């Protein structure tokens, strides 16, 4: 029997400043750039100067987008205030403006941080709360003409696993993401500016995360928006990686990224850009052959 993969829908997503991100012809790679002292996915924190260098390196390795974050959102992490987050991300975004040829995304759920980051040169917003934490973010995205990634989650970092209770994880996540999408549109965000993220590892046990990866086409089809998947180095991969800490989970990440591409993801969000670009290219060749 020959494997068959459905066509990946194409979209043109607006970027702040008047640009457009074309999605669908091939899966794009979003590089994760954390400017925090407590990121789970990196071996050590980066200074602002090191972060700038790493962003340029990601571009050279084949990244299509760089996602810059100043607050760790790993399960159990402490929240930080907007001023702290801005002190971390703004110097990096400002230094990269005009030097980086690929779009910059700001990884934040705060309206004030997003607004300042878009001023500094970011072109899209990646909101891990899907507008649940700061509904005012919708107005900022609308006013600035940016795109927004709405991720599925429940609760906050401290209690999200307590809310990992699903009748059918894909049906439930799709329903909740649809509600988040509707809220964004009601807040002024054009439907065409929205990308969805099923939130692998957020308010989900490992079985839930694997279940979502196995049924990505069903999830995307239920909402009708481009799909970003971020499995990189997350804890649901720990058992398969024989208990390795986050930086040691790149082989298992490669398997999850392959599943994401075969499942029709438009964007995959990863730490190890160079190796994962190769994984994405090979997985896309398999998908095209099917």
- Write out the catalytic residue numbers: 234, 269
Give the torsion through C-alpha atoms of 185, 187, 190, 195, to 10 deg: -70
Give the torsion through C-alpha atoms of 36, 41, 46, 49, to 10 deg: -100
Give 98's contacts (C-beta < 8 A, 6+ positions apart): 121
What gap in Å lies between CA 48 and CA 68, rounded to an integer? 11
Provide the 3-class DSSP secondary structure of residue 188. coil
- List strands edge to edge, sheet with 147-151: 194-197, 147-151, 124-127, 104-107, 65-69, 28-34, 267-270, 228-229
Give 147's contacts (C-beta < 8 A, 6+ positions apart): 13, 14, 15, 21, 123, 124, 125, 141, 193, 194, 195
Q: What is the DSSP letter of 63?
A: -
What gap in Å lies between CA 94 and CA 277, rounded to an integer? 26
Q: How many helices (H) and strands (E) does the chain have?
A: 9, 10
Q: What are phi and psi of 150, to 5 degrees?
A: -105, 115
Q: What are phi and psi of 196, to 5 degrees?
A: -110, 150
Provide the 3-class DSSP secondary structure of residue 88. helix
264: left (phi over 0), alpha (psi -120 to 50) or beta: left
């Amino acid at each position: 029997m020959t494997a068959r993969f459905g066509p990946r829908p194409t979209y043109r997503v607006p970027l702040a400043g008047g640009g457009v991100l074309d999605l669908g012809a091939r899966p794009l790679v979003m590089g994760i750039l954390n400017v925090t002292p407590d990121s789970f996915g990196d071996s050590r924190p980066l200074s602002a100067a090191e972060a700038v260098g790493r962003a340029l390196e990601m571009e050279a390795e084949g990244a299509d987008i760089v996602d810059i974050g100043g607050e760790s959102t790993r399960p159990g992490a402490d929240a930080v205030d907007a001023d702290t987050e801005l002190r971390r991300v703004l110097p990096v975004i400002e230094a990269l403006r005009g030097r980086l040829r690929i779009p910059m995304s700001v990884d934040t759920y705060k309206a004030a941080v997003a607004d300042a980051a878009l001023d500094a040169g970011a072109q899209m917003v990646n909101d891990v709360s899907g507008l649940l934490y700061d509904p005012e973010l919708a107005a900022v995205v609308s006013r600035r003409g940016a795109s927004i990634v709405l991720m599925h989650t429940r609760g906050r970092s401290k209690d999200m696993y307590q809310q990992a209770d699903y009748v059918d994880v894909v049906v439930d996540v799709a329903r909740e993401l649809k509600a988040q999408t509707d809220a964004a549109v009601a807040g002024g965000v054009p439907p065409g500016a929205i990308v969805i993220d099923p939130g692998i590892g957020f308010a989900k046990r490992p079985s839930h995360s694997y279940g979502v990866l196995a049924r990505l086409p069903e999830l995307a089809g239920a909402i009708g928006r481009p799909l970003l998947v971020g499995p990189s180095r997350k804890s649901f991969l720990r058992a398969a990686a024989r208990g390795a800490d986050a930086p040691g989970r790149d082989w298992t990440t490669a398997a999850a990224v392959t599943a994401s591409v075969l499942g029709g993801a438009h964007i995959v969000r990863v730490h190890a850009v160079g190796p994962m670009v190769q994984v994405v290219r090979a997985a896309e060749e398999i998908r095209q052959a099917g």
